[in-house]
Structure 1
Amino acid sequence: MTLRLPNPDGTLRAYEPRAEPRVEANPGSAFTSRTVFSAAHVVADPYADTTPDGPAAVDWDATLAFRRHLWSHGLGVAEAMDTAQRGMGLDWAGAAELIRRSAAEAKACGGRIACGVGTDQLPAAGAPALADIRAAYEEQLAVTEQAGAQAVLMASRALAATAQGPDDYLDVYGHLLRQSAEPVILHWLGPMFDPALEGYWGSADLDAATGTFLEVIAAHPDKVDGIKVSLLDARREVDLRRRLPQGVRCYTGDDFHYPELIAGDDQGFSHALLGVFDPLGPLAAEAVRVLDTGDTDGFRALLDPTVALSRHLFRAPTRFYKTGVVFLAWLAGHQSHFTMVGGLQSARSLPHLARAYELADGLGLFPDPKLAEERMRTLLSLHGVTQ
């Protein structure tokens, strides 16, 4: 049955939903050519009596079930990252519980997990002392390591507010890397994802910032498993990965150019740690398994068509991409509701969500297209769009 979907100008367009899902390849063995993480979202408890600025109420059963879904396809889970609404509805207390529960679940089912380590237990206002920033990082690093997960050292809003220049970044990160039990992933999150991170690594000049970033890695190459780069600049990522010390991986976080960056060139390639692999999980896993056989063209044929959806979800203001990710999880049947911690389900417009549905349906991402259509129809009705 045809749906009437809203355009940004207030008009309606007709859309014919697909009747059948795409035929997925059966999950196989672990990937051999790339290490791939999906940054996973959290499922809110829709019955909790909460407020946007109160503690997050999480539906733990549905949240952990979604992680098992990702692991079942061979993907690693990047936990408690910005996709899980760190600093946008999920506070440190909730993140710590998420890390503990997800790490235990990973151990039980043999899934790979890496968890975000930051400083978000510090007050949001002001510029704390460097010693307090180091202590906050240390607390979160201890929780992650005690849970048995790999650490991802996330960019810190507090450090961005306090640091006087590159030397402060070298001091804080050097301190953390010297005491980490296992090699970590360093995360460079650009200001398009979080405006509070403008000028990270001590300079708004990206060339200068890259130099400081590489200096941190060069001083501790045995403690850095890899870097996650989320700058939405493919050329810069390629240049950076070519300058990494031997054995340090580049995990692309570029949700605009990921097929070409993962495919690579004759001088190397990127692994992946991507928020868009939350809704793309099974399709992304299938594409990587094709790449494992050496079939780069087949990999690109599967993954290139997904870029339009990803660019739509991550359009400016990019930090609100989580709304589209959770919306698609609801349409796909991974959760029973479209509610988010912090009330972030309101962060994208109805035309934006309608286009996300149309693109995802066209890709065959919904295991039950009829369920997705019914849920889309319900959302349209709630917004006064009659069919």
Structure 2
Amino acid sequence: MSLNLRLPRADGTSEDYRLVGNPIARPATRPNFNRIAYAAAHVVSDPLRDTTPWSKPAIDWDATMAFRHHLWNLGFKIAEAMDTAQRGMGLDWASAQELIRRSLAEARTVPGADLACGAGTDQLDPADTRSLDDVIKAYETQIGFIEQHGGRAVMMASRALARVAKSPDDYLRVYNHILGQTREKVVLHWLGDMFDPQLAGYWGGGTFQDALETVLDIIGDNRDKVEGIKISLLDSASEVALRDRLPDGVLCFTGDDFNYAELIESDGRKYSHALLGIFDAVAPSASKALAALAAGDTATFRGVIEPTVPLSRKIFEAPTQYYKAGVVFLAWLNGHQSHFTMPGGMQSARGLLHYTDIFRLADQADVLDKPELAVSRMKKFLAVLGQ
């Protein structure tokens, strides 16, 4: 099959494009990393069972679990039921419970597999939340469910808390209460409002520095219960400022899908571990790069990981909360699912030119695992959209 196709351009014309990338070979055995690397994984819709996809999307559990095996085989831990899985944007708490239960059970069948599960308050409508106690009860329910099934929690940022909290003290009250009763260590999650506009003003401060002090107070009060904190602000200077002040033994997990390569490598003093949505989309590349870094081969690390950064910046461009569409688009192009539909119809959140740019950048970053399949599916996608 020819690896040529015609792609539209922003000026209304089109171009002949020929693929140039080389797929990343899979490792013979599961690789070892010297960074903790969580891939935040997406869920696969089942379009044949969808009847009300905006409010009650059906999930293809077999394909969803198969994708988790793909990530485990490449050496990743999984950040389950997080925003990449469309929590609060297509996946409700009832479906998240089923996802968490299934993934924890599946992990027990895979030697060495590991995961942490997102615990939030999304069973609450922020508009109906009246008090901090409502938020506390919602967190208790979700963390209790995860721990009941043998899991560890990532304590996700709460839209409901952002709505009702009046000061940093309110965040301290909620987080100290929850962390004081968890059985396992928890990863905290600092998610910027570029990922979710409803989280504007989180931690109760008007500036980054105000928020940072609140976060450090919470961690300082609960050092024995906090494994680390994921920071997703798409600003490397902010992440370094947090990283430099974390207490010994508390880890920094980069959630910066713009600057992850440099943050994971090191600034010569410290480095970040990873909890990233982009690792869902570029898992073979990230796996090879991290294995090289662990072997002391920084040249290969940079040579493999750096070409994925322009692709990630495109996928996560504003409005950033719609990045899930690009992640699933690549899963479809690479044959991990048979269709390009998403819970809540999220595939419609981006336009044709966005997806065309992703296709080009994925090819140039060696991210298209099955070039002939990718070209065939891209041609069909373009045809559906009138190209």
Q: Above 0.5 in TM-score? A: yes
Measured in 2, the distance between the counterparts of 1:279 and 1:76 equals 15
- Aligned counterpart, 1:140: 142
- Aligned counterpart, 2:222: 220
- Aligned counterpart, 1:59: 60
Kept in 2, the 8 Å contact 1:38–1:70? The answer is yes
Partner of residue 287 from structure 2, selected from 285, 288, 292: 285
- Aligned counterpart, 2:161: 159
State the Cα distance separating 1:283 from its structure 2 match: 1.1
State the Cα distance separating 1:53 from its structure 2 match: 3.5
- Aligned counterpart, 1:332: 334
Measured in 1, the distance between the counterparts of 2:140 and 2:164 equals 17
| Gapped regions of structure 1 (runs ≥ 5) | none
- Aligned counterpart, 1:68: 69
Measured in 2, the distance between the counterparts of 1:275 and 1:211 equals 26
State the Cα distance separating 1:47 from its structure 2 match: 1.0
Kept in 2, the 8 Å contact 1:119–1:137? The answer is yes
- Aligned counterpart, 2:319: 317
Q: Structure 2: which amino acid aligns with 1:168? A: D
CA RMSD of aligned residues (A): 1.3
Kept in 1, the 8 Å contact 2:23–2:370? The answer is no
Return structure 1 stretches of 4+ with deviation > 6 angstroms.
none
Measured in 2, the distance between the counterparts of 1:161 and 1:270 equals 30
Measured in 2, the distance between the counterparts of 1:174 and 1:49 equals 41
| Partner secondary structure for residue 236 of structure 1 | helix
Judge which range, 233-242 or 152-161, deviates more: 233-242
Kept in 1, the 8 Å contact 2:24–2:367? The answer is no
State the Cα distance separating 1:13 from its structure 2 match: 2.0
- Aligned counterpart, 1:49: 50
- Aligned counterpart, 2:268: 266
- Aligned counterpart, 2:213: 211
Q: 1:225 and 1:124, CA in 2 relative to 1: closer, same or farther beyond 3 A? A: same
| Partner secondary structure for residue 279 of structure 2 | coil
Judge which range, 353-362 or 335-344, deviates more: 353-362
State the Cα distance separating 1:236 from its structure 2 match: 1.0
Kept in 1, the 8 Å contact 2:227–2:250? The answer is yes
Task: Please give the per-residue CA displacement for 1:17-59, whole angstroms capped at 9, x wherever unaligned.
Answer: 24x7424251545534100000000000111233353122100
Q: Structure 2: which amino acid aligns with 1:89? A: G
Q: Structure 2: which amino acid aligns with 1:288? A: L
| Partner secondary structure for residue 99 of structure 2 | helix
Q: Structure 2: which amino acid aligns with 1:70? A: L
| Partner secondary structure for residue 277 of structure 1 | helix
Q: Structure 2: which amino acid aligns with 1:51? A: T
| Partner secondary structure for residue 108 of structure 2 | helix
% of aligned pairs identical? 55
Measured in 2, the distance between the counterparts of 1:130 and 1:246 equals 30
Task: Please give the per-residue CA displacement for 1:223-262, whole angstroms capped at 9, x wherever unaligned.
Answer: 0000000000101101111100100000000000000000
Q: 1:59 and 1:8, CA in 2 relative to 1: closer, same or farther beyond 3 A? A: same
Aligned residues: 384
Kept in 1, the 8 Å contact 2:24–2:369? The answer is no
State the Cα distance separating 1:129 from its structure 2 match: 1.2
State the Cα distance separating 1:300 from its structure 2 match: 1.3
| Partner secondary structure for residue 108 of structure 1 | coil
- Aligned counterpart, 1:354: 356
Measured in 2, the distance between the counterparts of 1:306 and 1:268 equals 22
1:54-133 matches, within 5 Å, as: 54-110=55-111, 111-133=113-135
Judge which range, 3-12 or 91-100, deviates more: 3-12
Measured in 2, the distance between the counterparts of 1:180 and 1:290 equals 36
